[in-house]
């Protein structure tokens, strides 16, 4: 596995694994929106995904609030579970503006997801480790029913980085799971893709259901159509 700014991929030895949930960003959430998002996800009335951020503590993976401040040496894993059959991409947006694919990663080009299956990033015994550089690491998750050629092509680039550079740094971004995202897929020409909004449901500590993102079921329905993507970001602050 390759290294990315402040997050290095390292092998870890786990004595046990716990899979409770985390809370979403610290902004107050409307109860009705949270219940709606979770209901849409669980009943598969809308395309969506559950999210867990797990931190290595005492040789076990435990849940953490993604809006907390991490420190050098902290090791984490991201667990995703889709309620639809399709594809997910995870793009690391560094404070410098550099954008590189984290999933699919070298040696695992297949980023197809199956409803109800859990996917950990990085997989197996690997974990992401923060180094000494401070800032906010942005992991943008993109849900799609179809492959995204622009992101697939990035796998052939050095370190899997996108040809188009970002224009803003992430250092001052709010931490947590958020709906506002930095564009990573070109929105011009024949490859224009429609970006769908999502609603959030914050999980509770030690709740294995996790936090949930789901497409609202109003306007065009809650299912992704060809040429549509549903992005959200996991922003991890490092002090």
The dihedral over CA atoms of 102, 98, 159, 193, expressed in degrees to the nearest 10, equals 60
Say which residues have a Cβ less than 8 Å from residue 71's Cβ, sequence separation at least 6: 130, 238, 239
Return the structure tokens found at 67.
């809006």
Per DSSP (E only), the strands in the chain are: 7-11, 16-17, 48-57, 60-63, 69-70, 75-82, 86-93, 99-103, 112-113, 118-121, 126-130, 135-144, 176-178, 194-195, 199-201, 211-214, 228-238
CA distances from 138 to 14, 92, 204 (A): 26, 6, 22
Backbone angles phi, psi at 38, to 5 degrees: -65, -40
Within 6-85, residue ranges assigned H as helices are 31-42
Give the Cα-Cα-Cα angle 203, 9, 135 (nearest 5 degrees): 65
Tens-digit pLDDT profile for residues 161-211: 886 554 444 444 567 778 778 777 765 444 567 889 999 887 665 666 778
> Which pLDDT belongs to residue 220?
63
Whether residue 236 has pLDDT greater than 80: yes
**Mean of per-residue pLDDT scores for the chain:** 78
Q: Does 23 have pLDDT greater than 60?
A: no
Task: Residue 170: count other Cβ atoms within 10 Å of its Cβ.
Answer: 22
CA dihedral 178, 235, 211, 20 (to 10 degrees): -170
What are the extents of the domains in the chain?
7-238
Q: Nearest 5 degrees, angle CA 146-CA 149-CA 153?
A: 140
Handedness of CA 92, 134, 174, 8 (dihedral sign): positive
> 82 in the Ramachandran plot: left (φ > 0), alpha (ψ -120 to 50) or beta?
beta
Task: Determine the average pLDDT of the residues in 125-141.
Answer: 87
- pLDDT at residue 182 in the model: 73
Helices within 27-82 (DSSP H only): 31-42
């Amino acid at each position: 596995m390759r290294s990315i700014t402040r997050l290095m991929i390292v092998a870890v030895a786990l004595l046990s694994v716990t899979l409770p949930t985390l809370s979403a960003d610290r902004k107050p959430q409307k109860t009705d929106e949270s219940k709606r998002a979770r209901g849409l996800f669980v009943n598969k009335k809308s395309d969506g995904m559950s999210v867990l951020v797990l931190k290595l503590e005492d040789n076990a993976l435990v849940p953490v609030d993604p809006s907390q401040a991490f420190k050098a040496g902290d090791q984490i894993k991201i667990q995703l579970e889709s309620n639809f059959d399709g594809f997910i991409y995870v793009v690391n947006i560094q404070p410098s503006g550099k954008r590189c694919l984290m999933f699919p990663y070298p040696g695992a080009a297949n980023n197809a997801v199956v409803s109800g299956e859990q996917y950990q990033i990085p997989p197996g015994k690997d974990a992401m480790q923060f180094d000494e550089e401070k800032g906010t690491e942005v992991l943008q998750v993109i849900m799609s029913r179809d492959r995204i050629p622009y992101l697939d092509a990035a796998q052939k680039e050095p370190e899997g980085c996108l040809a188009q550079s970002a224009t803003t740094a992430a250092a001052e971004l709010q931490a947590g799971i958020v709906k506002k995202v930095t564009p990573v897929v070109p929105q011009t020409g024949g490859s224009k893709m429609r970006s769908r909004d999502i609603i959030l449901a914050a999980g509770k500590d030690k709740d294995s259901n996790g936090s949930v993102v789901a497409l609202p079921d109003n306007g065009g329905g809650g299912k992704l159509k060809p040429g549509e993507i549903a992005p959200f970001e996991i922003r991890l602050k490092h002090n």
